[in-house]
Amino acid sequence: MTNLKMSVSSKAPVFSKNQAIVLGVTMSDKKVKLITHRVDSSMISNLDLSSVGVKTKNESVARIPGPNGSVFVLVGVGQEVLDEDSLREVAGAVSRAVAGLESIVFDLPTEDATDAVNILEGAALGLYEFNTYKGNPKASSIKVSKIIVLSDHKVSSAAISRSEVLVETVFATRDLVNTPPNDLYPESFADAVLKRVKGLDLKVEIWDEKKLAADGFGGILAVGKGSTRPPRLVKVSYKPQGATKHLALVGKGITFDSGGLSLKPAESMVGMKYDMTGAATVFEALIAIAKLGLSVEATAWLCLAENLPSGSATRPNDIIKIRNGKTVEVLNTDAEGRLVLADGLSAASEANPDLIIDVATLTGAATVALGNRYAGLMGTSEAISAVEAAAFDAGELVWHMPLPVELRSLLDSELADIANVKIGQRAGGMLIGGLFLKEFVGKPATGEEQKIAWAHLDIAGPANNDAAAYGYTPKGATGALLRTLVSVAE
């Protein structure tokens, strides 16, 4: 990312070698036609585009040789009117298809400066690759180093810098999540945090297993006790002068989830390195907040553990005590994310922030209900409104789900304050997970009965894309919802 230059220009550049000129195509009078553009397209304007493989289906991409060694990249837009979200997606699809070229010039219609920035952002997000563990990666030696959007609308350098920061932190999130669990575990994750914050106005505090025990973090300890690699809690703080609002972010960081003694089937364990996506997302969101110099106090709590079965692992029917003093009867050790988040939410509440957002790959039920692209959103009304508005601005998908009061009794325990699951209850699993977490959100210091404003994002669906890449979303870790968190902070 450091070598990528992003800009907006009203003047079309000279055609040059290894340059992609991106034009949109749509269907008109039963013919494939170019949509409004400004570059000289005379070389291809008389071609029967459909006969050379050009399609108008949204995000379909075709390459045709252009002048001076350049390439016309014709992308299907489906319809001639492109909104903010589709501009991001189309630009990302182009970036994934231009391997071997050095620069991309987007000549797509822009209604305003926001459209131009969204093209830049989508295009940059689409360039992501993760080849760290490939001995002989197939990626081209030529990389895209320049993205230009042609537009008459002026875009500030601050807007471009913001997109650069967002793209860089999304990439860093994807890198963390894609890292295999033999290399990324609680201690190494904490070490990575220390390296990443160097040079930034951030403070880091780390709880090892001894400090976790001393300070009453029974949920994180209980989940991590089955592994030889002990758990960690990491607090990352950003407190600029003059900040009057405080945003707390809590992330589930299960670096590998076998299910513990409630062991998952073998095929269900594949991909469980992604169970730390929540922690990676909130951490990199805080990095973005600090790099952008936002005037808001922000704190990220990374709840890190490896959930494995062993002679020391937590058993079903064990009762543990969470940081806020509530006891939990563990009936299913594979419902471990809510146990570590309970500690994180309790600790975050102690600082009486204005808003708490927790992010977690919490339930398979979320994907059953919402598929693989929407995150489930639960919480208090003011928090829901804030996250929905931010997600809309970021072009990310959330869906407000209820927290039905009548389901809370399913978590009643005869021996403890609450159970972590209701055995045999398959209906409403995502909602029950949210109801459990709600128990560990504190009340404001003012003594009000209502809880601190809180939102829960169940990102089990969008955190990882195990299907084909689409738009600016690669196969594998996606970095979803980071941009939404930054928008909330703004």
Q: Tell me the catalytic residues.
A: 264, 338
Cβ contact 76:57 at 8 Å:
yes
- DSSP percent split of the chain into helix, strand, coil, nearest 5: 35, 20, 45
What's the CA gap between 320 and 409, in Å, rounded?
Answer: 19
CA distances from 250 to 23, 139, 195, 399 (A): 42, 36, 20, 19
Q: How far is CA 308 from the centre of its chain?
A: 25
Q: DSSP secondary-structure letter at 325?
A: S
Indicate the helix (H) or strand (E) that contains 196: helix 186-196
Cβ contact 348:324 at 8 Å:
no
Classify each residue of 11-40 as buried b or exposed e, where b means 16 or more C-beta atoms within 10 Å of its C-beta. eeeebeeebbbbbbbbbeeeebebbebebe
What's the CA gap between 384 and 455, in Å, rounded?
Answer: 6
What's the CA gap between 245 and 252, in Å, rounded?
Answer: 24
Contacts with 240 (C-beta within 8 Å, 6 or more apart), sequence order: 201, 293, 294, 295, 296, 297
Tokens of 308: 């494995």
DSSP secondary structure of 366-396: HHHHHTTTPEEEEE-HHHHHHHHHHHHHHT-
Indicate the helix (H) or strand (E) that contains 62: strand 61-65
